[in-house]
Structure 1
Amino acid sequence: MLYVPFAILVAALLFGVPIAFSLTLAGAFGLWITLGDVGQVVEVVGTTVFSSVADYTLSTVPLFILMAFLASQSGVARELFAALSSWTSNIRGGLAVATVGATGMFGALSGASTAAAAVMSQVAVPNMRSHGYADEVAAGAVAVGATTAILIPPSIALVIYGLMTETSLGDLLIAGILPGVLLAVLLAATILIWVRINPTLAPETYPSSWSERVASLRGVWPSATLILLMLSLLYSGIATPTEVGAIGAVSAMALGFALRRLTWQGVMIAVHQTLRASAMIFLIFIAAKIFGYYLSLSQIPQMLVTWVGHLAVNRWFIIVGIIAGYFVLSMFMDELPLMVITLPLTFPIIVSLGFDPVWFGVLTMMMIAMGLVFPPVGMVAFVVSASGGVALSKVYKGTLFLILSIFAATALLMVFPEIALYLPALVRGREF
């Protein structure tokens, strides 16, 4: 009977029930099985609704989301792409490389891969098409480039991971910086190799003059200033992640008004979008807590830890199995539902095996990044296809080649955990 709630959860999801309601239904049924009293179930569910979202650190999420939508309303994505493309247009595949850089920088303002993909596909794909780039290169660069947003601060997914596992948000956000930069560099290198192998994919170069390049930097400095401000505050420890989110939101609005790129109507649109996105995340978070209470009372995570502990296999064999499972599941669902369903089961195992929770958080983001652009579903691939007007088959053709960069970054992260752990250790004054 203990596993019936999982069957209910899977069935509800297959029938298209929203993830928040599916988790609540399965969790409430599980509580009824374990407690045996409907009154107690109602009491637990009622108190969970408040206690789940009363945590002060959870305010980090809407603040980062508000900053992202304010930046989007200010039109920074188009200026980022224009500036970077002027510096890379003299090399074959340069516009695709510029797309990766611009998408990564916009991801540092948006914190969400799907948001970065939706905006940048409308900006970069038409531009690359007009310069003779193949759709698979253009769409692939946007899609895989958007996955860097799940790593680079202020990653909403890393914030949710930290809140669910009670891992330091500051350590997690800082830990994502070097892996995010590594992924962007490897992606750019993969693009350059691809277009060198097949020059017809990016047939032309359009060198810009030095005066044009210098002039293009005027459109970059506001975004760069905002990103450096956030990273400096996080890296120095002057402000908590929640305070960084508040400062970032206020700074984004101030810069938008100062540069006359943001209107009050744009602010209201950003606020409305933030409320919608935050409400959705909070509902899922509440539902995850209800389901988590059931897991705690049923002792299922503890039983899994005990079972894994009795396996006569190397711990790396287990971590590879967990990672493969994340990769498969991430092909069928977005990062937030994936984490709230799996982390209550996988995180205790990881901790019991002695793996660093910060390192595992970054590694989890890598697996989710793969699934976001991999068939048969791949949420980001669908977003790029719809927003950029590119056939889904061509999007997948591009991502299936460029995903090699994510595989390479993941392998390096597993062999060298210091890639993720070095900056947090440096900030905290620790040594490996």
Structure 2
Amino acid sequence: MIALVMFAVALLLLLFGVPVAFAFGGVAMMFAFFTPDVGFEVFNILPFRIYGIMSNTTLMAVPLFIMMGLILEKSGMAEKLLMSMSSLFKGVRGGLGVSVVLVGAILAASTGIVSASVVMMSVIALPLMLQAGYNKGLASGTIAASGTLGQIIPPSIILIVLGDVMSVSVGELFMGAVLPGLTLVGLYITYIMIRAYINKEDAPAIITDEQVNIIGLLLAIIPPLLLMVAVLGSIFAGIASPTESAAFGVVGGLILSGVNRTLNFEMIKYALFETMKLSGMIFMILIGATAFSLVFNELGGTDLILEFFSHDIGNVWVFIGVAMLSIFILGFFIDFIEISFIIVPILVPVMEAFGIDPIWFAVLIAMNLQASFLTPPFGLSLFFLKGAAGKSITTMDIYKGIIPFILLQLLGLGLVILFPDLVFAFI
């Protein structure tokens, strides 16, 4: 039971705002010191674990995909995409909202960085939607949910992390996440169109005499789609590993930025520094989580949980339900990185004991973690949206607007649970 107390103390420190890496690392040291059966000798293996992290070729894809996303963020691609898409759906009620969802999906497949996508969409799309007379809640919910698609649509940072933590192929995870991601896109579009049909004041059509510029539309859509096909297609075809494809994506992002005439020293400096900061944060959390798991396992925490689910409960669906509910609730308070590095390793032995397919289970976790970006009061996408939107919308507008999209995500999660073939269609 000491292991459970240790886990509770770590969560309590997180709620008090202690940095994640130091919370988990500090708790590990404290419980190792005060528990005679453990002692600091448990950390003798830690340098080898850290070296394993440093030499992990799968995790090398993380900073590369982050850099690719940051380069594309500054390339002006999102603005061109949205303007072209909105002209395609002019005269259709809810058309601007649909174009925002589609652009969010393309950005997700091109960048994979949620913060960048949400901020870009907030700056570009929100003024257009409010100017067109969209309901503030619907506009903010659409932007937050669309910008968060980068959590599930490949190339997703969370899928790379889960692939490493659960020891499964990142390429297969990418392939497994395609249809669930597109299912969410379809659910979002359906909701927007139904709401626009029921109440036309919430999502009025844009009336303009301007003709659709087909050439401009193709020039805006084709380059990011080519990059997406090149990066993901090379992984799916087995031509390149995720790390090699990520490196190719960085080069492709630089080329796209050069074509858009946004490539300069300041942009490269920004991408490099932000990549260093984000990657440093992720790997510091991973090191703290590794120290935590060493002590937690030494105290018998994993064995206790395995015993509880596989013998005391003995029902696979109860385990899946409890696991999904726990991740969903924890997503209200802590980030997806902490959940991936701390909670998921605890669940993996139980998953293996029940014979659950790790690819399917990983996609379920990724979809659940996506909801954690949207759940009030601590959903990061909501903070990104409010920070970028300023005074044009209130926090309450955001909370009201995001609730239907959270329900849609839970519906999407339920569909993947009921129809596992959605994950295995391309594998």
Query: What's the TM-score, normalizing by structure 1?
Result: 0.93
Alpha-carbon spacing, 1:208–1:234, altered in 2? closer, same or farther (3 Å): farther
- Bigger mean CA offset, 61-70 vs 223-232: 223-232
In the TM superposition, residue 198 of structure 1 has moved relative to its aligned partner by 1.6
In the TM superposition, residue 50 of structure 1 has moved relative to its aligned partner by 3.1
Deviations 1:196-231 (A, max 9, x none): 222111223235755424422212222111111112
Q: Is residue 412 from structure 1 mapped to residue 419 from structure 2 by the alignment?
A: no
Counterpart of 1:421 (choices 398, 412, 424) is 424
Counterpart CA distance in 2 for 1:34 and 1:156 is 39
In the TM superposition, residue 45 of structure 1 has moved relative to its aligned partner by 4.0
| Structure-to-structure mapping, 1:83-232, within 5 angstroms | 83-206=84-207, 211-232=212-233
In the TM superposition, residue 366 of structure 1 has moved relative to its aligned partner by 1.6
Contact 1:86 1:213 in 2 (8 A): no
Letter in 1 for 2:69: A
Counterpart CA distance in 2 for 1:208 and 1:31 is 71
* Residue of structure 2 equivalent to 1:335: 336
Counterpart CA distance in 2 for 1:196 and 1:95 is 14
* Residue of structure 1 equivalent to 2:255: 254
Q: Is residue 401 from structure 1 mapped to residue 404 from structure 2 by the alignment?
A: yes
Counterpart CA distance in 2 for 1:5 and 1:317 is 25
Deviations 1:58-78 (A, max 9, x none): 111000001001111111111
RMSD (CA atoms) = 1.9
- Bigger mean CA offset, 220-229 vs 271-280: 220-229
Contact 1:28 1:41 in 2 (8 A): no
Alpha-carbon spacing, 1:93–1:142, altered in 2? closer, same or farther (3 Å): same
In the TM superposition, residue 91 of structure 1 has moved relative to its aligned partner by 0.8
Q: Is residue 28 from structure 1 mapped to residue 24 from structure 2 by the alignment?
A: no
* Residue of structure 2 equivalent to 1:82: 83
Letter in 2 for 1:149: G
* Residue of structure 2 equivalent to 1:234: 235
Counterpart CA distance in 2 for 1:128 and 1:214 is 24
Contact 1:85 1:98 in 2 (8 A): yes
In the TM superposition, residue 407 of structure 1 has moved relative to its aligned partner by 2.3
Structure 1 unaligned runs (5+)?
A: 425-432
Alpha-carbon spacing, 1:251–1:306, altered in 2? closer, same or farther (3 Å): same
Deviations 1:113-165 (A, max 9, x none): 23321221111101111111121111111111123111111100111111112
Counterpart CA distance in 1 for 2:3 and 2:306 is 16
Structure 2 unaligned runs (5+)?
A: none
In the TM superposition, residue 7 of structure 1 has moved relative to its aligned partner by 3.5
Counterpart CA distance in 1 for 2:87 and 2:303 is 55
Letter in 2 for 1:272: F
- Bigger mean CA offset, 86-95 vs 199-208: 199-208
* Residue of structure 2 equivalent to 1:364: 365
Q: Secondary structure at the match of 2:368?
A: helix
Counterpart CA distance in 1 for 2:286 and 2:246 is 19
Counterpart CA distance in 2 for 1:86 and 1:306 is 58
Q: Is residue 282 from structure 1 mapped to residue 283 from structure 2 by the alignment?
A: yes
Alpha-carbon spacing, 1:404–1:88, altered in 2? closer, same or farther (3 Å): farther
Letter in 2 for 1:28: M
Percent of residue pairs identical: 30
Q: Secondary structure at the match of 1:199?
A: coil
Q: Secondary structure at the match of 1:126?
A: helix
Counterpart CA distance in 2 for 1:399 and 1:363 is 20
Letter in 1 for 2:319: I
Counterpart CA distance in 2 for 1:152 and 1:104 is 7
Counterpart CA distance in 2 for 1:208 and 1:291 is 62
Counterpart CA distance in 2 for 1:84 and 1:126 is 16
